[in-house]
């Protein structure tokens, strides 16, 4: 189970004024027990046009009375062992329709007097045989493919519940999993052992629609594009007669927030600050300035060059979390300095924070700290506590922010921009000290063993990068794969299996520049002006190649990363290109670049003197994250 050691979220959508302002929309609460698909549940419900909000199961029962329906998520915790005994179970007695998945299903059964036991694990695709009609399965066949991932099972039904279906386990029926779907139509409570929210349950969206719209009777009127006026009213309410100073990076989130503030408050009370932190891409700050002016935001805009402040704060820092903190704190210092020169004593800090940002910082009790986003560093947390931060997009997912942007007249090119992290290139210039103690020999042997028969060689690198494994942060070694290219499917499968089979690694790279790589040494380095300039050039080459080869739209994001290692005594920067496919950034698959695109990248980048080799990051998220730090 994940340790509940983190502070409660300070603003996530449950408590955000924006969700409060949205109360005219029927809403489904998703109780977050820490399962990895919590966001998927909320986004799928929202995709049906019904507002969904992620809530903490420990919140007071009374605060759930206004919901049209409640969904209990899965969890890394085990129901059979009463892992989460303390949650507000009274929520189940409110008379509101309830649907539970996996852990949530078991908790529903237990609450009404059923029995849950730790049993044989069931994992992956299974066939659900439906034996009892129920509105939850309206429109579906008698047999449905569903996605299972559990070790506990409801072994005795609670009184008043019926078994709606079981999962078929082999031809002799000896492995059937009973009670895979249960219900009490009288209580309007439904438990599904499987996960209808994942795409591997093809009928899942129908089940969610049946629950939200038919059983709960929720109106499907949640369309973010229609909410411009109500969001503006909510902003005016929260800001009162104060001014707002918004940091704008040029990314879609802060640009949409700026357009919304402009509409709500007018140019006189909106102050946009673009901080050139020296961590931007090539020519980016000038481009951002021009774009914001073109959008009519010019009268509110000020651009300041604070690159010296950021470089000074990053001097000598190697640890990724410390780098993120240094960048986040410097943003706030520069912000406070600028606010003083503008004499805005009565100012609120505006941020374009979106929903997942608040969650991945350990924003909920049960989620582990994967990375601290710069908009959730302690100084910002303090300002949140003082009521001095306004985040009008904090309840939205990226696709919804884009929809709102379109409604505000933002052009498609700005809307479809690849996401770019707040700490910018600062977290793509990886840092390293001298060779420290690490498990090199053991990892090498295990990697060699795991790669046997693939024709590839794997060299574990003496640096570490951030990843996420079983919902927990990891900080482990990448493995550089070399050898004849086995094809995209094979290389990505090898990456998945290596990270599973070898402890201590969370990322795989495939070398594409044809350099000999049998030995890797760290080339101690931190973030410097020179390394940033180099990365800016290389990143521009990669972006231009993606554009030229028609990959810009299919690829969701493509960080280029400098990794300070020398290979076979040559060079000091391994250049890693990380094209990914993703929908929300919460999970990702590596995207296949075309051979011509790779050739162009290699040709252009190889000539830079510090480059030791070029590699494509072929890891999914999890176990790696999209960014390296
Ligand atoms: P990871 O690396 O956690 O990233 O897989 C998921 C998405 O979030 C972006 N990202 C950030 N965005 N501030 C941001 O505004 C941050 O500190 C930050 N860190 C990561 C990342 O680029 C990807 O799109």
DSSP assignment of 188-251 equals: TEEEESS-TTSTTSTTHHHHHHIIIIIIS-------GGG-HHHHHHHHHHHHTT-EEEEE--SS
H or E element, residue 252: helix 252-265
CB 575 within 8 A of CB 560: yes
Ligand 1 pocket test, candidate residues 398, 585, 628, most atoms within 8 A of CB = 585
Q: Is 169 helix (H, G, I), strand (E, B) or coil?
A: coil
**pLDDT for 11:** 32
Annotation marks residue 232 as catalytic: no
| Active-site entry in 25, 39, 177, 195 | 195
374 CB within 6 A, ligand 1: yes
pLDDT at 343: 64
Q: What is the DSSP string of 312-360?
A: HHHTT---HHHHHHHHHHHHHHHHHHHHHHTT-TTEEEE----HHHHHH
Burial of 589 (0-12, 13-18, 19+ CB in 10 A): middle
Supply the residue whose CA is at minimum distance from atom 19 of ligand 1: 421
Nearest CA to ligand 1 atom 6: 585
CA–centroid distance, 380 to ligand 1, in Å, is 17
For residue 107, the surrounding DSSP H or E stretch is helix 103-111
Tell me what pLDDT residue 12 has: 35
List beta partners, residue 563: 574
Ligand 1 centroid–CA 366 distance in Å is: 20
Cβ of residue 371 lying under 6 Å from some atom of ligand 1: yes
Does residue 625 line the site of ligand 1, with CB under 6 A? yes
Q: Which residue in the list 84, 197, 403, 600 is annotated as catalytic?
A: 197
**Token pair recorded at residue 41:** 């549940």
- pLDDT at residue 7, rounded to an integer: 28
CA 324 to ligand 1: nearest atom: 17
Ligand 1 within 6 A of CB of 424: no
Nearest CA to ligand 1 atom 7: 585
Identify the CA nearest to 497 among candidates 454, 438, 460: 454
CA proximity to 41, closest of 64, 18, 69, 63: 69
Ligand 1 atom with least separation from CA of 373: 17
Check whether 233 has a pLDDT greater than 70: yes
User: If you take atom 4 of ligand 1, which residue's CA is the nearest one?
Assistant: 626
Contact present, 47 and 76 (Cβ < 8 Å)? no
Catalytic residue at 197?
A: yes
> For residue 366, what are the CA distances in angstroms to 5, 98, 197, 281, 540?
8, 21, 20, 35, 39
| Separation of CA 198 from chain center | 16
pLDDT digit string, tens, across residues 238-269: 999 999 999 898 899 999 999 999 999 999 99
308 Cβ neighbours under 8 A, 6+ residues apart: 278
Per-residue pLDDT at 595 exceeds 50 = yes
| Model confidence pLDDT, tens digit, residues 113-143 | 999 999 877 777 889 999 999 999 999 999 9
CB 421 near ligand 1, within 6 Å:
yes
Burial (0-12, 13-18, 19+ Cβ within 10 Å), 66? exposed
Are the C-beta atoms of residues 462 and 521 closer than 8 Å to each other? yes
Give me the half-sphere count of Cα atoms (radius 13 Å) on the Cβ side of residue 519: 5
The whole-angstrom separation of Cα 234 and Cα 10 is: 18
- Please name every residue paired with 149 in a beta bridge, in sequence order, or none if there are none: 123
Is the CB of 626 inside a 6 Å radius of any atom of ligand 1? yes
Contact present, 146 and 201 (Cβ < 8 Å)? yes
Element containing residue 116 per DSSP (H, E): strand 115-130
Residue 271 designated active-site: no
Nearest protein CA to atom 12 of ligand 1, as residue = 421
Q: What is the pTM of this model?
A: 0.77
User: According to DSSP H, which parts of 386-502 are helical?
Assistant: 398-407, 412-415, 440-451, 488-501
Please tell me the distance from the alpha carbon of residue 291 to that of residue 249, in angstroms, as a whole number: 11
Mean per-residue pLDDT for 36-53? 91
* pLDDT, mean of residues 375-386: 74
Q: With a 6 A CB cut-off, is 254 part of the ligand 1 pocket?
A: no
């Amino acid at each position: 189970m994940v340790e509940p050691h983190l502070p409660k979220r300070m603003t996530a959508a449950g408590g955000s004024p924006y969700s409060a302002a949205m109360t005219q929309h029927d809403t489904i609460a998703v109780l977050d027990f820490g399962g990895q698909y919590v966001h998927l549940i909320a986004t799928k419900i929202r995709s049906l046009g019904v507002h969904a909000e992620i809530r903490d199961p420990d919140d007071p029962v009374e605060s759930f009375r206004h919901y049209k329906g409640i969904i209990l998520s899965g969890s890394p915790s085990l129901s059979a062992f009463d892992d989460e005994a303390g949650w507000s179970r009274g929520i189940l007695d409110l008379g509101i329709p309830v649907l539970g998945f996996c852990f949530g299903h078991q908790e529903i059964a237990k609450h009404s007097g059923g029995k849950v036991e730790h049993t044989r694990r069931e994992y992956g695709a299974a066939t659900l045989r439906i034996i009892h009609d129920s509105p939850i399965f309206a429109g579906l066949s008698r047999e449905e493919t569903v996605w299972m991932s559990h070790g506990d099972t409801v072994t005795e039904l609670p009184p008043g519940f019926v078994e709606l279906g079981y999962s078929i386990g082999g031809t002799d029926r000896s492995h059937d999993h009973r009670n895979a779907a249960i219900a009490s139509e009288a209580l309007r409570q439904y438990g599904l052992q499987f996960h209808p929210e994942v795409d591997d349950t093809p009928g899942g969206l129908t089940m969610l629609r049946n629950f939200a719209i038919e059983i709960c009777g929720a109106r499907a009127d949640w369309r973010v594009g229609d909410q411009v006026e109500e969001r503006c009213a909510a902003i005016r309410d929260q800001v009162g007669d104060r001014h707002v100073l918004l940091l704008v990076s040029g990314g879609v989130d802060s640009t949409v927030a700026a357009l919304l503030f402009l509409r709500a408050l007018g140019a006189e009370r909106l102050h946009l600050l673009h901080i050139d932190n020296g961590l931007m891409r090539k020519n980016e700050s000038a481009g951002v300035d021009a774009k914001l002016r073109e959008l009519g935001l010019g009268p509110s805009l000020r651009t300041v060059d604070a690159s010296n402040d950021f470089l000074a704060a990053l001097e000598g820092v190697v640890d990724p979390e410390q780098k993120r903190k240094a960048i986040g704190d410097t943003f706030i210092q520069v912000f406070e300095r600028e606010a003083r020169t503008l004499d805005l004593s009565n100012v609120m800090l505006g941020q374009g924070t979106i929903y997942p940002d608040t969650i991945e910082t350990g924003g909920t009790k049960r989620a582990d700290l994967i990375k601290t986003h710069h908009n959730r560093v302690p100084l910002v947390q303090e300002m949140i506590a003082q009521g001095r931060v306004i985040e009008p997009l904090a309840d939205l997912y990226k696709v919804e922010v884009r929809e709102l942007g379109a409604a505000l007249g933002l052009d498609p090119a700005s809307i479809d921009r690849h996401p770019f992290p707040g700490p910018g290139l600062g977290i793509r210039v990886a840092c390293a000290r001298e060779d420290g103690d690490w498990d090199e020999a053991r990892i090498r042997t295990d990697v060699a063993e795991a790669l046997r028969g693939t024709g590839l060689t794997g060299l574990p690198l003496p640096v570490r990068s951030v990843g996420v494994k079983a919902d927990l942060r990891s900080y482990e070694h990448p493995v550089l794969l070399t050898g004849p290219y086995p094809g995209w499917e094979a290389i990505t499968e090898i990456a998945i299996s290596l990270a599973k089979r070898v402890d201590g690694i969370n990322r795989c790279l495939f070398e594409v520049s044809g350099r000999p790589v049998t030995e890797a040494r760290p080339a101690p380095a931190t973030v410097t002006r020179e390394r940033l300039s180099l990365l800016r050039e290389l990143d521009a080459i990669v972006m231009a190649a993606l554009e030229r080869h028609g990959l810009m739209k299919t690829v969701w994001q493509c960080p280029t990363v400098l990794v300070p290692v020398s290979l076979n005594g040559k060079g000091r920067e391994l250049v890693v290109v990380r094209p990914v496919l993703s929908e929300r950034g919460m999970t990702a698959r590596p995207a296949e670049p075309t051979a011509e695109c790779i050739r162009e990248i290699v040709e252009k980048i190889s000539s830079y003197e510090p480059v030791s080799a070029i590699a494509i990051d072929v890891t999914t998220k999890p176990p790696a994250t999209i960014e390296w730090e």
